[in-house]
Structure 1
Amino acid sequence: MTSLKALAADPWQSRGRAFAEDDRGPRGPRDAFQRDRDRIVHSAAFRRLRHKTQVFVAPDGDHFRVRLTHSLEVAQIGRTMARALGLNEDLTEALCLAHDLGHPPFGHGGEDALDQRLADAGGFDHNGHTLRIVTRLESPYPDFPGLNLSWEMLEGLAKHNGPVADPKWALAEADAAFELELDRWPSLEAQVAAIADDIAYDNHDIDDGLRSGIIDLDGLLGLDFVREVWRGVEARHPGLDPTRQVKALVRDGIGGMVGDVLAETRRRVAEAGVGSIDEVRGCGLQLVGFSAPMRTAERALKRHLYTHLYDSEALRPIRVEAQRIVGDLADAYRGDPSLLPDGWAGGEDERGRLRGIGDYIAGMTDPFAIRQHERLVGPVSLPDRF
């Protein structure tokens, strides 16, 4: 198989970090990207993902995925693709592990509520907030703010979904502090991390959706891609019990998508004729992606999941209540900043103060947000399930 090693990010050719570091301490045998990955794994923001919603509210159900388990699964898929393509596995893994650090409690519902409440301070965007966490808010080191990640890591987090023409304030601040070339494509490692995210939640949300009973197998089998994978499982394992058959469906769905991305990426790279990582950034094209038939199938699967799972009647009341919790907390802190813990009520002006409120709420886990609402505002009425 064709290796893209010549296009891989090289930790020894890194553009460096925003702040020079004293390397006299015991660092161990790690290069720049390995240190980036380890800084993410050891961060408090990463640990908090354990209690943040993926699809189902984090306190409910030991078997459902949360942001932490999702991030680990994305990293596994991303690392596998990076290895197969000859790219840098450590940078890919670090980007996968960090890509959801900026999510507030209760997933996208919580993000929508926070964005609305902070509209007069520039709003809230989880991707920009990820950069804010790693460059400012998470500061465990004595000599610099943030985690002081490599330029390649920050670039990948900022634009793993492609160039950013109109960055919101948090991403714009990070770019102003350490210019990230937002108008160019990122490394192949960042592009792999982005599509690994899609592959992970497309397939694992099938698993969680079926487990919950909100979606049904018959509906999924109406999709050509799912039906083809299911028939392959039945052909190889006739008589397999339904629970294990679903696990095989998810596993083979991931494998089919990964194989498609690997073949399509090699084709695109060859067609583009890029010979260096700088040419990858400047070619003006996404080089890691699904083939046209798989892209059509993947979009059909996404539409099905949005209609029958994410926006289902079963989950809509939970999302509405979760948005109320986040919105009420924002209102409470705006009305009385003294309710904030020490260190969070600062800000040189009103906009800075409101953004500090956003920082504090975005860092909450689902259970902590519920407890704070019960303490400061009033009871929460989340259903017993989901």
Structure 2
Amino acid sequence: MSKRETAAWATASEDAAGLVGYGGHDVCRFVPEPAKNPQRTPFERDRARILHSSALRRLGAKTQVLGPSSDDFVRTRLTHSLEVAQVGRALGQALGCDPDVVDAACLSHDLGHPPYGHNGEKALDVVAASIGGFEGNAQTLRILTRLEPKTLDARGRPVGVNLTRAGLDAVAKYPWARGQGPGGPQGPSARKYSCYEEDREVFDWMRLGAPGHRRCLEAQVMDFSDDVAYSVHDVEDAVALGRLDPARLASERELEAVIEATLDWYGTATSAQELGAAWDRLMTRSTWIRSYDGSPADAARLKNLTSELIGRFVSAVAGATRAAYGQGPLTRYTAELVVPARTAAEILVLKGAAVHYVMAPREHEPVYLRQRTELFDLADALLSSGDRHLEPVFASAWRLAEDEAGRTRAVVDQLASLTDTSARAWHARLCGLLSEI
């Protein structure tokens, strides 16, 4: 071990002092940093770096399910991420994970989402087809380790916010490169992955010592918390905006439609019978709302329902995981999150309700096609104009690129960084302008 590596390890070990369940390996950073304020742990610094990032701020104008301009009530990617962090922090603390690791991972989990949500993600995957595709989770890693300005390495290259190893690993929902996870090139890892090939160096550093394709416990907590927030809050939004009438949910025909949408969207691993039983359990809760007219009383009942459901799901998983692994701190690779089948089915059928009443109908709306067209138009405009219209960080990447693939990735990074609002503004400005050149 060189003197530099020895000094870095000594600093990491010192930083890890007092952290229960974590050691020097976990608090190492890709670019070693000198010891800082001893009043803050390395994981508190990680969380602060995410909170102060421009990438997090941009989520305030990016689509969650409904566009941020559609109504003042609806959740954006930012408000969703804040809610996921609250759920994750509570569950992580119950299990003995460092709450700041989980909190930072939850805040970070959607940083890579482009404008227009999953619709934009599909469009950029087409634009990036020649360079390995686009995936929101892989883009998140790229933002954290390259694009978000904070730290440079010894050669002057940007390395993003330079999170600790444990903090970065907790964001890796799919800890493999494209086609290199479960099932290989033909399996699900061909669609969901957390690393582009050009970011392999930092990814391999992050995964040093990790067992195979396993996700660390903190990443599992983040992923589960995302599902809880997504399932509960999207249904809340749908009810509050009149997309879902609770009175209709007592109808057997409506339930069948929700179950069918769930199976079509999420697959058949959970049976229709299990989904129906889960729906019955939810409907018989004393907090379940039977109607909604927007009155203060109904709004309060709806909010109480969301609180009760979140508490129900978190308590079930915390209890099941503790029953399997006992007391004491559960961190990193010392445990697997245990989600009871009944809990998983209840969350899934709520997600299916959001699909049936909001997401599936949305895909047939004209605005959905217009959004994809905007991104395709912008990609054509930027790819044909060199670095002329790119923001400085992306223009620099374009100029430093050694080939067309690198220049294409710079354009994709630029497009992914845009919000819904700025994408429309860029389209109005650039596509009209470039058509005249």
- If the length of structure 2 is used for normalisation, what is the TM-score? 0.75
Contact 1:12-1:32 within 8 A present in 2 as well: no
Contact 1:160-1:191 within 8 A present in 2 as well: no
Structure 1's 244 and 293: CA in aligned 2 closer, same or farther, altered over 3 A?
same
Q: Does 1:299 align with 2:348?
A: yes
Q: Please give the per-residue CA displacement for 1:102-159, whole angstroms capped at 9, x wherever unaligned.
A: 0101110000000011101111001000000011111223555211111111212123
Q: Does 1:227 align with 2:283?
A: yes
Alignment partner, residue 53 of structure 1: 63
Alignment partner, residue 297 of structure 2: 241
Alignment partner, residue 243 of structure 2: 214
For residues 228-307 of structure 1, what are the structure 2 equivalents within 5 Å? 228-229=284-285, 231-232=286-287, 241-269=297-325, 277=331, 280=334, 287-307=336-356
Structure 1's 84 and 297: CA in aligned 2 closer, same or farther, altered over 3 A?
same
Q: Percent identity?
A: 35
Give the CA deviation at 1:59: 2.4
Alignment partner, residue 389 of structure 2: 339
Structure 1's 69 and 279: CA in aligned 2 closer, same or farther, altered over 3 A?
closer
Contact 2:64-2:117 within 8 A present in 1 as well: yes
Alignment partner, residue 102 of structure 1: 112
Structure 1's 228 and 208: CA in aligned 2 closer, same or farther, altered over 3 A?
same
For residues 1-386 of structure 1, what are the structure 2 equivalents within 5 Å? 9-10=21-22, 14-23=26-35, 27=37, 29-141=39-151, 145-159=159-173, 164-165=181-182, 170-177=195-202, 178-180=205-207, 181=210, 183-221=212-250, 222=255, 223-229=279-285, 231-232=286-287, 241-269=297-325, 277=331, 280=334, 287-313=336-362, 316-337=365-386, 338-342=388-392, 343-344=394-395, 345-346=398-399, 347-377=401-431
Structure 1's 265 and 127: CA in aligned 2 closer, same or farther, altered over 3 A?
same
Give the CA deviation at 1:232: 3.7
Give the CA deviation at 1:14: 2.1
Q: Please give the per-residue CA displacement for 1:314-369, whole angstroms capped at 9, x wherever unaligned.
A: 87333222222222211221232333344423321011111111100000111100
Give the CA deviation at 1:375: 0.9
Structure possessing the higher relative contact order (Cα contacts under 8 Å, 6 or more residues apart): 1
Query: Aligned partners of 1:182 and 1:171: how far apart in 2?
Result: 20
Structure 1's 110 and 92: CA in aligned 2 closer, same or farther, altered over 3 A?
same
Classify the secondary structure of the residue corresponding to 2:72.
coil
Structure 1's 351 and 314: CA in aligned 2 closer, same or farther, altered over 3 A?
closer
Contact 2:137-2:194 within 8 A present in 1 as well: no
Query: Aligned partners of 1:274 and 1:171: how far apart in 2?
Result: 36
Contiguous gaps of at least 5 residues in structure 1: 1-6, 282-286, 380-386
Contact 2:95-2:329 within 8 A present in 1 as well: no
Give the CA deviation at 1:198: 0.5
Contact 2:316-2:340 within 8 A present in 1 as well: yes
Query: Aligned partners of 2:338 and 2:359: how far apart in 1?
Result: 24
Structure 1's 86 and 114: CA in aligned 2 closer, same or farther, altered over 3 A?
same
Q: Please give the per-residue CA displacement for 1:20-59, whole angstroms capped at 9, x wherever unaligned.
A: 1133xx6361111111101101111011111111111122
Query: Aligned partners of 2:352 and 2:63: how far apart in 1?
Result: 20
Query: Aligned partners of 1:138 and 1:225: how far apart in 2?
Result: 44
Alignment partner, residue 284 of structure 1: none
Classify the secondary structure of the residue corresponding to 1:333.
helix
Query: Aligned partners of 2:354 and 2:106: how far apart in 1?
Result: 22
Q: How many residues align?
A: 360
Contiguous gaps of at least 5 residues in structure 2: 1-18, 256-278
RMSD: 3.0
Structure 1's 138 and 362: CA in aligned 2 closer, same or farther, altered over 3 A?
same
Query: Aligned partners of 1:301 and 1:37: how far apart in 2?
Result: 30
Query: Aligned partners of 1:182 and 1:58: how far apart in 2?
Result: 40
Contact 1:159-1:182 within 8 A present in 2 as well: no
**What letter corresponds to residue 148 of structure 1 in structure 2?**
N
After TM superposition, the structure 1 stretch with the greater mean CA deviation from structure 2, 59-68 or 42-51, is 59-68
